[in-house]
Structure 1
Amino acid sequence: MEKNFNFKKIGKWIMAGSALIAVVVLIVFSSNTFSTDRCKKIEIKIKNANEQFFIDKEEIEKLATKQGRDQLTGRLFEKIDLREIEKRVLKNKQIKTCQVFRGIEGNLNIDIEQHIPVARILMSDGRDDVYVDSEGYFFPLSERYSARIVLLSGEYFRNLPSLKQKRQEKLLNFINLINNDNFLRAQFTQLDINPAGNITIVPLLGKHTVEFGAPENIQNRLSRLKIFYRQILPVQGWDTFTHVSVKYDGQVVCK
């Protein structure tokens, strides 16, 4: 019994020693992983860089460093204000989100996500044109890149800061449906929207315009429009009609 007790005791000592060694190794590993208290380099990742080209890594670094006036590489991390750098980068309104953090290799990581536009709004109130994203945010155009997307026009947008309000939800859903449908996105070049929210569609081909009306019963009306473009126009001719309406349920009215 005495022998068994000693073996158990020794076994406990070995386990305790192993645990202690593991802790020491972990501390050493962590120390080596965070091998420097200074910023080695700036590492920038743009989440959706292959979808839009509004901004590049060089411009992000310029924003982060105040055009090179605030040197970050080589600085102690305790002297770097990560939140301040995020604010600097977000001054570019094409950027949707920005996260700045210290990487395990001693890098300063800057991860950003761009806004992805679903339409361009042609402002009629003296303001510069803007893009709108799928969530209804307005953001400015870019000098570097012009997105090929549907145009929005009309008095509806006068003095409007965004499409984020509840009353604009159906219109935003309509715009998103057009943007996500390859056929309709290629067919429609412009949506003109009056102050009441009624939509007139200007297509790429043909001499007609499409009276869509308010963004109600959207899927049904778009289905009738697809029938019109795929079955009626190829037979009747693309320049036969000047006015098409799907405003009324169950009908495609052509003039």
Structure 2
Amino acid sequence: MKFRKVLKYLLFPALMVGLGFLYSFSSTRNLQIKIAEPIVEFEEGDNNFLTYSMVNKLLIQNKETVQNQAKSVINLYGLENRVSKNPYVENATIFLTIDGRLKTIIKQRIPVARIVLKSGSYYIDKQGVKVPLSNNYSARVMLISGVENVEAVNEILPLISLILGDEFLHKEIVGIEKSEVHEYKFSVRSGDYKINFGKLSEMETKFKKLKAFYSKTFKDKTIKNYNLINLKYHNQVVCIK
């Protein structure tokens, strides 16, 4: 009986040592597994600035692709930081799977407008972040001119947000032009006329006036008689034929 008790106390530490050895051996072996072909996933969205091939070219470590490198030498933070610096990437998550695959999940930036300058043009996303044009994808967004710097972009973001948040306005307004006196004029899809929005004040009230005006003039088909619809005056819509 005493021998069994002693044996019991001896077996438990031996078992723990054995398990520790197996775990250490397994962990070491796991770290030596070489990375198979990386997995790249894009979050939902209809923009295709980046391709799988373009992302794979960003997954470079020690001047070589991560494929066939050992898991133990993979710097996940460094890779994630590298991918996140791409101007088309809003967010990137990179991790290793148990079976030795490097998985990258990317959320691409979604363009909401295209800023047109004399020197060229670029997209902006909803935060106003600059997104370069791409040969892979052309976004159908509002064209904005007269906005020359970051401050002007930030100034117009609330207006863009209001337009995008309204299904009708989103489809109707195709262009915005800022004048030298900081007033805004819209180009629209439904006709050749312009909409003088004025300054960025009472924006919601102005859009309510515009939609009420549209409701009437679309119904009686008089909208085609006008060249300019002016919303800048308080509580009225002034039209020029």
Shared fold by TM > 0.5?
yes
Equivalent of 1:138, from 126, 130, 135? 130
Equivalent of 2:207, from 222, 227, 231? 222
> Structure 1's 162 and 120: CA in aligned 2 closer, same or farther, altered over 3 A?
farther
Cα distance in 1, alignment partners of residues 112 and 234 from structure 2: 27
> Structure 1's 86 and 245: CA in aligned 2 closer, same or farther, altered over 3 A?
same
Q: Is 1:55 matched with 2:55? A: no
SS of 1:230's equivalent? helix
Cα distance in 1, alignment partners of residues 111 and 223 from structure 2: 30
The answer for the alignment partner of 1:102 in structure 2 is 96
Cα distance in 1, alignment partners of residues 88 and 80 from structure 2: 14
Cα distance in 2, alignment partners of residues 208 and 182 from structure 1: 20
> Structure 1's 80 and 162: CA in aligned 2 closer, same or farther, altered over 3 A?
farther
In the TM superposition, what whole-angstrom CA distance separates every residue of 1:148-200 from its partner, at most 9, and x where no partner exists? 1111112xx22x146675xx2xx211101212322111111110012443110
Q: Is 1:113 matched with 2:107? A: yes
The answer for the alignment partner of 2:71 in structure 1 is 77
Aligned residues: 223
CA contact 1:132–1:138 (8 Å) conserved in 2: yes
SS of 2:123's equivalent? strand
> Structure 1's 249 and 146: CA in aligned 2 closer, same or farther, altered over 3 A?
same
Report 1:167-246 matches (<5 A): 168=155, 171-246=156-231
CA contact 2:39–2:103 (8 Å) conserved in 1: yes
Q: Is 1:65 matched with 2:56? A: no
Cα distance in 2, alignment partners of residues 80 and 36 from structure 1: 10
AA aligned opposite 2:53: E
Q: Percent identity?
A: 26
Q: Which runs of 4+ in 1 moved over 6 A?
A: none
CA contact 1:150–1:189 (8 Å) conserved in 2: yes
Structure 1 stretches lacking a partner, 5+ long: 1-9
AA aligned opposite 1:229: Y
Cα distance in 2, alignment partners of residues 123 and 250 from structure 1: 34
TM superposition shift of 1:52: 1.2
Cα distance in 2, alignment partners of residues 52 and 137 from structure 1: 16
Cα distance in 1, alignment partners of residues 88 and 75 from structure 2: 23
AA aligned opposite 1:198: E
| TM superposition score normalised by structure 1 | 0.76
Q: Is 1:42 matched with 2:27? A: no
TM superposition shift of 1:247: 1.1
AA aligned opposite 1:147: A
TM superposition shift of 1:206: 2.1
